[in-house]
Amino acid sequence: MSSKAAAEFTRHELEMNGRVMVIGPDLMEAFLTIPALQNAAAAGSDQALRNGEIGRVFGFRVFISPFVNGTTAFTRDAFALACRAPRVSEGAGKSASQRHNGYSLRVVQDFDMTVRAEVSLMSTFVGAGVLDNRQSMSFGLAA
C-alpha cells in the first residue's frame, strides 16, 4: 500500500520531502508488524511515536488517526486550510480575537441574567479544499 503511493507520487514527479501518510485503525496492525517500526530507535525518536507518528516508510512520515478509514497519502501542497475569526462583538461585556500559526479564534464573554452566570462563546470560520488532486490519494485493504 505505501509502495503503491510512493510509486504513484514518483510518477507525478512530486518531491520526496514533505510526503505524509495517515493510516486508520484497520491498517495500524499491519504497519506495526514492520520490524523497523517496532523499535523506536529504528523508527525515529520516541517523541515522534508519542505524537502519533509511527515512523517513515518509503519516504512518507506515517501517522495514525482514528478518523481515517484505510490510508490517505498526500504532500503538504495537496490541500488548503483557511481559518478566520468572526468580527469582534461590540455589544458584549468582553470580546477579543486572537491569531496564532494561521489559526484564528474569537472569544466573547458576558453575563447572562437568564442563568445568572458568566457565559462564554468561542467561534471561528474554517474552510478546506483540494488544491491538486495529483498530490493525494486514498486506498484501503484489499479483501
Residue given cell 485493504 in the structure block = 141
How is residue 109 written as a grid cell? 464573554
Measured CA to CA, the distance from residue 17 to residue 97 in angstroms comes to 35
What is the phi/psi pair of residue 34, to 5°? -70, 120
pLDDT tops 70 at residue 50: no
pLDDT at residue number 120: 93
pLDDT at residue number 46: 59
pLDDT tops 90 at residue 59: no
Within 8 A by CB and 6+ apart from 40, the residues are: 46, 49
Q: How does residue 33 score in pLDDT terms, banded at 50, 70 and 90?
A: confident
Q: Which residue has the higher pLDDT, 24 or 141?
A: 24
Side chain identity at residue 93, one-letter code: G
Which CA distances in Å does 15 have to 9, 74, 96, 99, 119?
8, 11, 41, 31, 48
Measured CA to CA, the distance from residue 26 to residue 31 in angstroms comes to 10
SS3 content of the chain, % helix, strand, coil (to 5): 25, 40, 35
Measured CA to CA, the distance from residue 65 to residue 68 in angstroms comes to 6
Fold of 2-78+131-139: hypothetical protein PF0899 fold (3.30.2320)
Q: What is the pLDDT of residues 102-124, one digit of tens each?
A: 899 999 999 989 999 999 999 99
Listed by start position, the domains of the chain span: 2-78+131-139, 86-123
What pTM was computed for the model? 0.66
Q: What is the pLDDT of residues 77-101, one digit of tens each?
A: 899 999 999 999 888 889 999 999 9
Q: What is the pLDDT of residues 7-18, one digit of tens each?
A: 888 888 888 888
